[in-house]
Structure 1
């Protein structure tokens, strides 16, 4: 079975900026049914739009870029995965950012490959498959 992917905000922002070209080629080669974003990532993107000098324009650009991708709400299964991951990272003294932990939990709970430029943080999460399409 082909892998499905959860895109982090930095990957989506790079895609919107059309850099690097390899990222756009990779995205174009995948069916949108295999590309997902977390509602938490959407919140990050919307915050970025609100803080920009042209919020309405940036919101439209984001919506166009993610069109066809399913936005995954954070659910009870994701919450349980978060609790287990956070506890494991705390025991090892390798805690990552709270939002990154929530997003990683969602990817792991749903067997999605985490696509991010923030590989160093996400690779600390046990059992999470991480790919960087920007390098």
Structure 2
């Protein structure tokens, strides 16, 4: 796996297990979702707001989700963010448009925000590595 700063990467189980084995978890906030359990936006946002510890619910607001996922100040001094979606082929499989919208939002908005934009729009904002791994 490449060490580029912010990317969305398709990996297999062996690659993700190797990654998890070789990282120091002190400065990393890692979130793992099981695609078999994520059937809808509600399932996704419920898991995300719990595992990323959002201060308020995003169930009824996509904009609030974007606000919180591009804030994360409450995670403290974590230098890297990792989102792993296991069983990606099962992830929201009955709603391909929603699945595409979630992935596109991560790829086109969230990852670039943490790679560059955070320094320009947040006072004292600091870049963070944010990797998304889609595990087949």
Q: TM-score, normalised to structure 1's length?
A: 0.33
Which structure shows the higher strand fraction? 2
Normalised to the residue count of structure 2, the TM-score between the two structures is 0.33
Q: Taking CA–CA contacts closer than 8 Å with sequence separation of 6 or more, which of the two structures ends up with the larger relative contact order?
A: 2
